[in-house]
C-alpha cells in the first residue's frame, strides 16, 4: 500500500522477468496485493453455533530484501467493512468491540521474512511484523503459504487474534458466551514489483 521511481524502470523490467520465471534476484523485491482478489474470513465460536464473517482489504504492499530477509511495507484492512450477515450483531461488533468509527483501519507492517522465496513452486515462509488493531500495536508472526497461479503469486495464511487479551470488549454474556480469540483466514493474489532500492 508506494509509488516506484520511473528511473528504475529498466531494472524492474529485468527483475520482474526473473521473478515470473521463479527466480528471486538478490536485492529488493516487492509484492502488491490485489483487493479484488483478496478474501479475509473470520470465525468466532459462540454458544450453540459458530459465527462467520469477512473484512475487506484496502491496499497492501510488501518489500523484501532477498539477501537479509528484512521487510517493510504496509497492509491495510478496512475495519468498517467487517460483517457477519446479522445487522444487530455487526452493529454491536462495530460499536462496542472493534470501535471501527474510531479505529477505521487494521494494519500489518512486516519487518522480516524467513524461509526460501521460491516463486516457481509451492512453499511457506514465516513473516514477522506488527499488527495494529483497535489503536494498539501487537507483534505477530504469520506462516504464509505461497504458490504460483498463472502470472500472479497466491498467498494463504491462518492465524488467531486474542482480541480480549489485547484489550477489546468481550461481546459475550452470562448466557451467550463467545471464544476469547477470533480465527482469521486470508487468501490473496499478489503481483511482483521488483525494487532497485534497499529495504529499510
* Tens digits of residue pLDDT in 1-50: 333 322 222 233 333 433 434 444 456 788 899 999 999 999 999 887 89
166 or 147, which is more confident? 166
Residues 31/192, Cβ–Cβ less than 8 Å:
yes
pLDDT at residue number 196: 59
pLDDT of 60: 96
Backbone angles phi, psi at 162, to 5 degrees: -80, 75
User: Going from the N-terminus, what domains does the chain have, and what CATH number goes with each?
Assistant: 6-192 (2.40.128.110)
Q: Which comes out higher in pLDDT, residue 183 or 175?
A: 183
The count of other CB atoms within 10 Å of the CB of residue 1 is: 15
Q: Is the four-CA dihedral 120, 124, 128, 129 of positive or negative sign?
A: positive
Amino acid at each position: 500500500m508506494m509509488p516506484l521511481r520511473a528511473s528504475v524502470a529498466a531494472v524492474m523490467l529485468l527483475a520482474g522477468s526473473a521473478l515470473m520465471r521463479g527466480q528471486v534476484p538478490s536485492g529488493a523485491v516487492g509484492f502488491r496485493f490485489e483487493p479484488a482478489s483478496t478474501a479475509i474470513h473470520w470465525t468466532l465460536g459462540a454458544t450453540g453455533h459458530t459465527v462467520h464473517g469477512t473484512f475487506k482489504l484496502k491496499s497492501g504492499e510488501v518489500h523484501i530484501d532477498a539477501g537479509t530477509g528484512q521487510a517493510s511495507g504496509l497492509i491495510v484492512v478496512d475495519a468498517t467493512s467487517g460483517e457477519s450477515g446479522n445487522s444487530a450483531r455487526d452493529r454491536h461488533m462495530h460499536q462496542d468491540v472493534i470501535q471501527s468509527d474510531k479505529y477505521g483501519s487494521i494494519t500489518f507492517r512486516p519487518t522480516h521474512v524467513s524461509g526460501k522465496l521460491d516463486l516457481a513452486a509451492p512453499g511457506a515462509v514465516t513473516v514477522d511484523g506488527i499488527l495494529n488493531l483497535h489503536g494498539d500495536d501487537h507483534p505477530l508472526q504469520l506462516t504464509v503459504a505461497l504458490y504460483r497461479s498463472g502470472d500472479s503469486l497466491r498467498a494463504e495464511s491462518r492465524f488467531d487474534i486474542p482480541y480480549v487479551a489485547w484489550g477489546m470488549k468481550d461481546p459475550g454474556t452470562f448466557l451467550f458466551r463467545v471464544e476469547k480469540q477470533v480465527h482469521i483466514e486470508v487468501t490473496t493474489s499478489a503481483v511482483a514489483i521488483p525494487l532497485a532500492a534497499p529495504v529499510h
